Amino acid sequence: MKKKEVRVLEELLGSNKKIASEIREKLEKKGILTINILGSPGAGKTSLLESIAEKLKPDHKMAVIEGDIETERDAERIRAKGISAWQIITGGACHLEAKMVGKIFPEIPADLDFLFIENVGNLVCPASYDLGENIRCVLLSVPEGDDKPKKYPKAFTTSDCLVITKSDLLEALPFNLKRAQNEALQINPKLEIFTTSALKDSGISELIDYFLSSLHKLRQKNA
Amino acid sequence: MHELSIVASLFEILEEKAKEKKAKKIVSVKLKVGALSGVVPEFLETAFNIYKEDTIAAESKLEIEEVPLKIECQQCGAEMVKDDFVFICAKCDSRKLKTLAGTELLLEKIEVEV
């Protein structure tokens, strides 16, 4: 019996990364901006998407991929707004992977402006998986507390934008907005930060402007 | 707790490499896990030991090298280890930093019996 050492140097998530890159390239070619939404359960991911849908609907076409451990509830909420939605039920898995998005890919209409992917509610595991998005958007709701960026660094370092949600509760809760913003920027100086309330329709337009200007840049790159 | 999914991806690579090298079995597996990889080494090890049963790596030993987050300041050139994940240069306060190590999740090498 002979022993042999083999140097491999392969990324463990290399196959996910490869599928994600293929998805990104194909969607970019169609001129679709893809946004991966991360956040804890109850951070307000679906409510934010409902508000975005209301505002985008008149002039832009969007669709949503919903990731949940169980139930079709989130997709139903989005469909009720007249928006196409696919539900991925992970059956226990705590995150979405690129191959799950890949399965839906053939059904995605080519004339979309935006594809939103709402990840499974979890501030840890989804951060490790590229889904082929152009923008990763992490949510932090006011009830969760202003100390979360340093407690969950991976989600905040890998994101492009931070959306602080439920800002209507700022008056009622000891959430220090400055502290949350500063901590997030210490961990990731490139973060774009938005403060929103889906309930009071505040800050959503600014977030949409950011998505629109990103879409514009993507299409300029294509042209 | 996505360590089991990651171990499943690891075993896909292990099976492929074993086949390629015509290995009878894998005796050791060495991983590099960065502090910002999003993975907990202890959980990875537990998942590995559950998963390895009845595979070509059933008797293998897992070694994990934990890699701290290392950054280089693009302003003053200082290199530093950041345990607090704060991306601000400790020397000159610059926020223009380059990550040198600490985000990897890598299968570095294996030892096989042929």
Position A136 in a domain: yes
Which H helix or E strand runs over A35? strand A33-38
| A1 vs B contacts (CB less than 8 Å) | 24, 113-114
**Which residues constitute the domain of residue A122?**
14-222
Q: Which of A6, A12, A94, A130 is most worth mutating to test chain B (most B CB atoms within 10 A of its CB)? A: A12
Q: What is the mean pLDDT of residues B45-71?
A: 96
Is residue B1 scored above 80 in pLDDT? no
Position A4 in a domain: no
Q: Does A10 touch chain B (CB under 8 A)?
A: yes
CB atoms A8 and B107 under 8 Å: yes
Question: Residue A108 has what pLDDT?
Answer: 95
| Residues above pLDDT 70, as percent of chain B | 99
Least Cα distance to A207 among A172, A171, A160 occurs for: A160
Q: Kindly report, residue by residue over A152-166, the tens digit of the pLDDT.
A: 999 999 999 999 999
Q: Kindly report, residue by residue over A91-114, the tens digit of the pLDDT.
A: 888 999 999 999 999 999 999 999
Task: Name which of A1, A5, A187 is nearest B87 (Cβ-Cβ).
Answer: A187
Domain boundaries, chain B: 3-67+102-113
Position A3 in a domain: no
Least Cα distance to A68 among A85, A84, A55, A81 occurs for: A85
Q: How far apart are the C-alpha atoms of A128 and B2, rounded to whole Å? A: 9
What's the distance, CA A1 to chain centroid? 51
Rg (CA), chain B: 17
Instruction: Label residue A223 by pLDDT band (50, 70, 90).
Output: confident
A136 forms bridges with which residues in the sheet?
A36
Q: What is the mean pLDDT of residues B65-89?
A: 95
Q: CATH number, domain at A36?
A: 3.40.50.300
Task: Name which of A4, A9, A124 is nearest B114 (Cβ-Cβ).
Answer: A4
Q: How far apart are the C-alpha atoms of A213 and A25, rounded to whole Å? A: 19
Position A117 in a domain: yes
Which H helix or E strand runs over A194? strand A192-195
Question: Residue B42 has what pLDDT?
Answer: 95
- Structure pTM? 0.94
What is the side-by-side strand order in the sheet with A161-165?
A: A84-89, A62-68, A114-118, A33-38, A135-141, A161-165, A192-195
Question: Residue B2 has what pLDDT?
Answer: 87
Nearest CA in chain B to A94: B2
Q: What is the mean pLDDT of residues A60-75?
A: 95
CB atoms A12 and B106 under 8 Å: yes
Residue pair A65/A117 in contact (Cβ under 8 Å)? The answer is yes
A177 three-state secondary structure: helix
Q: What is the mean pLDDT of residues A182-186?
A: 95
Question: In the numeric block, which tokens belong to residue A194?
Answer: 């938005």
Q: What is the mean pLDDT of residues A55-64?
A: 96
Instruction: Label residue B88 by pLDDT band (50, 70, 90).
Output: very high
Minimal C-alpha gap between B62 and chain A (Å): 14
Position A6 in a domain: no
Question: Residue A92 has what pLDDT?
Answer: 85
CATH number given to B3-67+102-113: 3.30.2320.50
Rg (CA), chain A: 18
Mean residue pLDDT across chain A: 96
Which residues are within 8 A (CB) of B94 and not within 5 positions of it... i.e. 6 or more apart?
B73, B74, B75, B76, B88
ipTM of predicted complex: 0.90
Residue B78: phi, psi to the nearest 5?
A: -70, 145
Residue A80: phi, psi to the nearest 5?
A: -60, -20
Q: Give the number of domains in chain A.
A: 1
Q: Kindly report, residue by residue over B36-49, the tens digit of the pLDDT.
A: 999 999 999 999 99
Classify strands A192-195 and A3-11 as parallel, antiparallel or unpaired.
Answer: unpaired
In sign, the C-alpha dihedral spanning A109, A115, A121, A124 is positive
Q: Does B2 touch chain A (CB under 8 A)?
A: yes
Position A211 in a domain: yes
Question: Residue A71 has what pLDDT?
Answer: 93
